[in-house]
Amino acid sequence: MEKKKSNISMAVIKRLPKYHRYLSELLKNDVDRISSKELSEKIGFTASQIRQDLNCFGDFGQQGYGYNVKDLYNEISAILGLSKEYKHIIIGAGNIGQAIANYTRFDKLGFELEGIFDANPKLIGLKIRDIEIQDIDNLTSFLKTHKIDIGVICVPKNNAQKVCNLLVENGIKGIWNFAPTDLIVPDDVVVENVHLSESLLTLTYLLKDKEEENN
């Protein structure tokens, strides 16, 4: 399918994973096609928003037919870069690092966990899902022999930049950062930050807003 634009807005890109998730559920339930109106009822975006979003990438829908769920799912997967598998490593095997390592759904999406590293001697040698936690001092030699796409940073804020530099110096191009700090990276490296507390503060705003509305 022909792509219409390459300069897709970040707002649209941020919505794509949600389309991907819902379409995957529709596929599992053997739904072959869906109209933008039906998709809108499930997903919570307006039908016109959906048509606009999907139009950014090509002519997906057909008047009177709607969207072919499998085609749309495959296309969105490809747009999200999910046509290939990604190998990742986790740095920091504390609360967050262990939770991510134990989350098997990432495997199903095509993310293969290749290694876990920590600086705490008490953790080194322990296993999470058959993967032994290695000494951070092994990271450089590990990365010389393993092609890793993504480094997941789960260390305290004060050590995050240092760990990030180590990953970047050893060829990692994608950083998934859980530490509450803005990492500095070269132009050819991408960082995606995850901050649960920001999501929580959005919730408190909405709670406060609702309370004010009801008073």
| Closest to 170 in 3D by CA, of 117, 101, 97, 104 | 117
The reply on whether position 196 binds ligand NAI by CB under 6 A is yes
Number of H helices and E strands in the chain, helices first, is: 9, 9
Alpha-carbon distance values, 95 to 91, 107, 109, 178, 212 (Å): 12, 20, 22, 11, 36
Distance (Å, rounded) from C-alpha 20 to C-alpha 80?
9
Beta-sheet pairing, 150-153 with 174-177: parallel
Distance (Å, rounded) from C-alpha 164 to C-alpha 153?
7
The reply on whether position 176 binds ligand NAI by CB under 6 A is no
Q: CB of residue 192 vs ligand NAI: minimum separation in angstroms?
A: 11
The reply on whether position 170 binds ligand NAI by CB under 6 A is no
The reply on whether position 178 binds ligand NAI by CB under 6 A is yes
Among 131, 180, 189, 191, binds ligand NAI (CB under 6 A): 180
Q: What is the dihedral of CA 172, 199, 9, 64, to 10 degrees?
A: 120
The reply on whether position 204 binds ligand NAI by CB under 6 A is no
Q: CB of residue 34 vs ligand NAI: minimum separation in angstroms?
A: 33
Only segment of 8-16, 24-32, 47-55, 148-156 that touches ligand NAI (CB under 6 A): 148-156
Residue span 91-110 as binding mask against ligand NAI, x where in contact by CB under 6 A, dash where not:
xxxxxxx-------------
Only segment of 8-16, 29-37, 88-96, 106-114 that touches ligand NAI (CB under 6 A): 88-96
The reply on whether position 117 binds ligand NAI by CB under 6 A is yes
Q: CB of residue 41 vs ligand NAI: minimum separation in angstroms?
A: 31
Residue closer to ligand NAI, measured from CB, 192 or 213: 192
| Closest to 23 in 3D by CA, of 77, 61, 63, 65 | 77
Total residues contacting ligand NAI by CB under 6 A comes to 27
Structure-block tokens of residue 35: 């109209």
